[in-house]
Structure 1
Amino acid sequence: MGEIIYLRDQHFAEFHDKCFLLLSASNHIELSRQLTKTLHHMLVTKNTPVALYHYLPTGQLRLIYYFSFGSNIEYEDEISSIRSFEALSHSQLTYYALNGEHETWGYVAHPPSSYIGSTHWISSLVDIAMHQLGLLSAKCIDRQQAKLKTSRRLLSKDIHLFTNIEEILDRHRQRWRDIFHACGICLASQGALHRFGHCPSDHQLLQQLSWLSNDAEQTDVIEFEGSHQGSLAVKLSLAGTHHGWLLLFRDQPFTNKHVDSAIHRALSCWLTYEARMARVLADDLALTIAALEISHTNRQFITTAQQLASLKPAIHSAPRAVTSAEQNNK
């Protein structure tokens, strides 16, 4: 963590209180709000917006939070259009990296401002925010992993109790919604849509699935934007076999009357560790579906074998046709 420089500056009279709010944040949205709000306060120019970008393993940047008390139309299009570090570095925005122990978590950025104070203050603020981000991420990951382990254990038992995916989904759906803080979940498998909670309409879901099937460069985890914002699609695959898609849905992260609709459309609703956990659940579901398919096939074989076995007495007792040779011998 960077050294906190103590200066007599009226603009930083509440700095320590703001830092305490950062350290007391209980989730990523609250921390994002406090970080962007505090930096906005420090920049003096009150209509200077502050944006927070999350760095994805793919190398992309996604806007996850935006704070502004006023309207600064001049930079809204630029802020909402940034999708990579290269674009950020070539923009007019001033940015600061949120560097973790092993990787860069993201960047906080703002347009040029009238701030003339020491950059040590901002560096200290960013260091404190990154420290809290690391703690929150570790805590959230541990909690989700524990819940997913419980879900996996129960799934393995249910394979022997239930005969179809609908029964399993009905048993586990609320647990999965709670794990991912999702308003709705849909499982698209074998040509059927299994929906529960607050989900898009069937027409919208079919649009998303059509786009997924036509995208030749798709990855295993995709977050939708624009009119499908808040949707996370995870491929269900096992040993090269595509079993369908798991779709998780969230409402927009926040609404703010001062935020332009273009900013809203660019906002991401899912963090990297959440997408990774969704991948784990998708793998468990793919394994469950495959096991159910094998179980169904075995039952069909058993039924067929039983039917054939029941026909044997009838076959042995049926009159045998007499050949012409046998007739001549008589």
Structure 2
Amino acid sequence: MTAETPKCFADELQAAQEECAREPIHIPGAVQSFGVLLSFDSSIRRVWQVSANVRQHLGLTVNECLGASAADILGSSLLGRIRRGLANTDRMPGAMTVTRKLAGISRKLHVVAYRSGDAVIVELEPLDSSARYRWLSLVNDWIAKLVETRTEDDVLNRLCDAVRSITGYNRSLIYAFDADWNGKVLAESRDEVLPALMNQHFPASDIPSQVRAMYGNNRIRVIADAQAEAAPLVPAMNPANGSPLDLSQGYLRAVSPIHCDYMQNMGVRSSLSVAIYSDSRLWGLVSCHSQMPLSLSPSARDSVATLVEVASQRLFLLKAEADAHYRQQIHDNRVQLAHGVQERHAPRDLVQQHAEHWRQLFRVEGIALVYLGEITRSGKTPDEDQVRELTNWLDAELKEPEPWATTSLSASGYPSAEAIQSWCCGLLAMPLLIDMDARGWLLLFRPEQFEMIPWAGKPEKVAEVRDGRTVLSPRTSFASWVEEVSGKSSSWHPAEINAARDLGDDLAVIAAAHEITRLNEYLRRERKALAEANQHLEKVANTDSLTGTLNRYRIEHLVQMSMANAERYGQPFSLLLFDLDHFKQINDTYGHNVGDRILKTLVNSLTDGLREGDQLGRWGGEEFLVLAANTVIDDAAIFAERLRRLVLATEFGLDEPVTISIGVAEWGKGDTMKTLLVRADRAMYEAKHSGRNRVCLGRIDQ
């Protein structure tokens, strides 16, 4: 073996991976044998193509079908329903069940229709006319069980049991994708025929990018028998344009030969996969396997899809509740920090006071605060010189005022990472905008985490040549293989990153307020300089740097003043707590620069709609608070609705409208700041989960 061999092999493997990503799985030119496909012209008048197994299912020959009238094959009633169903969409809403007499035999058929380029495709699956199964009752029973779940694990385990009970597969499992599209099995239900895969990991190459993309067109993929011969389309190409048919939206699409080999190596012949989406992102899959061929009825297939949809909603609701609980913990800590602003505590004192709680909240070993040349450390951190060198590097590399996170300082490119102890392997760094000429930093350190990751077979692929193309050969073994992972910390959760942003903003305000006090003392005789410094720092302490509106601490102070007036003089007031709907999706799609512009436009629009005496402040992230003085809750509801309409009518420069969800609460006798805000927050939460873009009231008696 020459020295060049490893490089040649790497190049060959890279080429195979790229070829795999281009595999035309959406145009196989054939269908699975459990159904028949007919392709028509765009007006659905004549048959253009037919699958070769048409006699098996319809009793007609290929020649009898090609060029035949659509009305003769489908019947005028079914044809009319298909035309109406495809009048304004590319896929007919819902499937149909019809009885059609063909070749002298009455046949019960399941019908799916969709457009593919210039063609209209109709997929027909024969149904057992004698089958009488109480699908609706069974599904409702399982839905009731899913609704009763109280933990994420319970949802996943119950869904696995439900799917296997309905379908009869030997094994059903659920696995979620990580950031690199590797999958981990989180739940499993099985009999003794197939081995357990619980907690096993699957490499991203097992479900390559073009396969994941296909779930965006059709969230269900069923393979009745991976070893059955596929039925080719006749003719192979669309006679109108000479192109192959895109079968992405159907159920009959033939299976890739590579995937057939994969299933054979896995020891299964039949499978069902149903995608689980969180908002617009593929979160994971429900995957079912059978050692023997299994032809799943359309009713069972639809039942599984319904259960997955219900379970997904329950799963992500529980996740949202967990995130809300975490946010409440952060909020409670921020309320405590607010006293640090009012009492002008030094930031270093607050770090020492709250460090242990922060370490628990962020699951870190050490915390360091760096501002104006001063370093405050708590727990396991690098030494002062190393912290200073690290922040110098961060200042040079990171220009945006956003949190930065890594699970490996070494892998992130930090040149002095090797000199730092293993308990500082992962870093979450939040820049603090304290001074116009210098930034501070809040640094959170996580230790190296040694992991033993079980894989369902060693995650390696081998390049081989098939039909003149270099492709990836599927794995031949699924025996458990354990990978030892080191040099990385545990991952940073998005909620933790957002919380670090809020905490950093708080510390920046506290540091600015502390600096005001220090400058007042230091520059007592320098009146002019003192006035200029106070003007700048008071602005930092009272206004939000991005939107120019009141910041959290200023609006909170005004709320406290209103509470005192309400208590003493009986002056009513209400709070309107709202945030932008789908703001994370806007940031992910258009970038944070566009997100910042949206926030500024929102504030400009709302400012015009405020009444005299109303106060608008940024509560954190995309959340805002309006203090409506001398306003009872019913009048506040009318006012909130006006603001909601004002935002809806505002031009934000996006393809879709920008909306807000508003929670309204009125101060009542005995209310504290916390109870009033909790009531407004719950009302906003209700608005979110009632469809967004609406106003909900948090009355005291609710």
The TM-score with structure 1 as length reference comes to 0.58
Matched, 1:76 2:298: no
- The structural deviation recorded for 1:209 is 3.8
Q: C-alpha separation between the residues in 2 aligned to 1:216 and 1:235?
A: 9
Deviation at 1:124, TM superposition (A): 2.1
Q: Does 1:108 align with 2:284?
A: yes
Shift of 1:44: 5.3
- The structural deviation recorded for 1:52 is 2.9
Change (3 A) 1:167 1:250: same
Equivalence for 2:443 = 247
The alpha carbon displacement at 1:7 in A equals 10
Question: Which residue pairs with 1:89 in the alignment?
Answer: 213
Match of 1:302, SS state, is coil
Q: SS of the residue aligned with 1:232?
A: strand
Matched residues in 1 for 2:145 and 2:409: separation? 35
Letter in 2 for 1:135: L
Counterparts in 2 of 1:7 and 1:35: CA distance versus 1, 3 Å: same
2:184 aligned residue = 66
Residue 296 to residue 202, structure 1, CA distance change in 2 (3 Å): closer
1:157 to partner: Cα distance: 2.6
Q: CA deviation at 1:170?
A: 1.1
Structure that is richer in strand per residue: 2
Aligned amino acid, residue 444 of structure 2: L
C-alpha contact (below 8 Å) 1:233/1:246 kept by paired residues: yes
Following superposition, the deviation at residue 264 of structure 1 comes to 7.9
**2:277 aligned partner, one-letter code:** L
Displacement after TM superposition at 1:108 (Å) = 0.8
The whole-number CA distance in structure 2 between the counterparts of 1:33 and 1:16 is: 13
Rate the CA distance shift 1:155–1:267 in 2: closer, same or farther, 3 A.
Answer: closer
Match of 2:347 among 165, 174, 179: 165
Distance 1:216 1:280, change over 3 A: closer
In structure 2, the CA distance between the partners of 1:97 and 1:155, relative to structure 1 (3 Å rule), is same
2:511 aligned residue: 289
Larger gyration radius, structure 1 or structure 2: 2
Q: CA deviation at 1:287?
A: 0.7
The aligned runs of 1:157-236 (5 Å cut-off) are: 157-159=339-341, 161=343, 164-199=346-381, 209=391, 212-215=394-397, 220-226=402-408, 230-236=426-432
Give 1:162 shift: 5.7
Assess if the C-alpha contact under 8 Å between 2:183 and 2:202 holds in 1. no
> Alpha carbons of 1:194 and 1:135: their partners in 2 closer, same or farther (altered >3 Å)?
same
The equivalent of 1:128 in structure 2 is: 311
Backbone CA RMSD of aligned residues: 5.3
Q: Deviations over 1:51-83 (max 9, x none)?
A: 334xxxxxxx56697338669999526489x9x
Q: Structure 1's 175 and 136: CA in aligned 2 closer, same or farther, altered over 3 A? A: same
Amino acid aligned to 1:50: Y
Paired residue secondary structure (2:523): helix
Residues 297-312 of structure 1: pairs in structure 2 closer than 5 A? 297-302=519-524
Aligned equivalents of 1:133, 1:181: Cα separation in 2: 23
Q: How does 1:43-58 map to 2 (within 5 A)?
A: 50-53=175-178
**Which of 1 and 2 has higher RCO (CA within 8 Å, sep 6+)?**
1
What residue ranges of structure 1 are gaps of 5+ in the alignment?
9-14, 26-30, 54-60, 306-330
Name the aligned partner's letter for residue 278 of structure 1.
A
Larger helix share, 1 or 2: 1
Equivalents in 2 of 1:179, 1:266: separation in Å? 20
Distance 2:277 2:155 in 1: 15
Give, in whole Å, the separation in 2 of the partners of 1:266 and 1:155: 32
User: What TM-score results when the alignment is normalised by the length of structure 2?
Assistant: 0.31
8 Å contact 2:146–2:158 — kept in the other structure? no
- Where structure 2 has 5 or more consecutive residues not aligned to the other structure, the ranges are 1-133, 187-195, 216-258, 263-272, 411-424, 456-481, 528-702
Structure 2 counterpart of 1:245, one-letter code: W
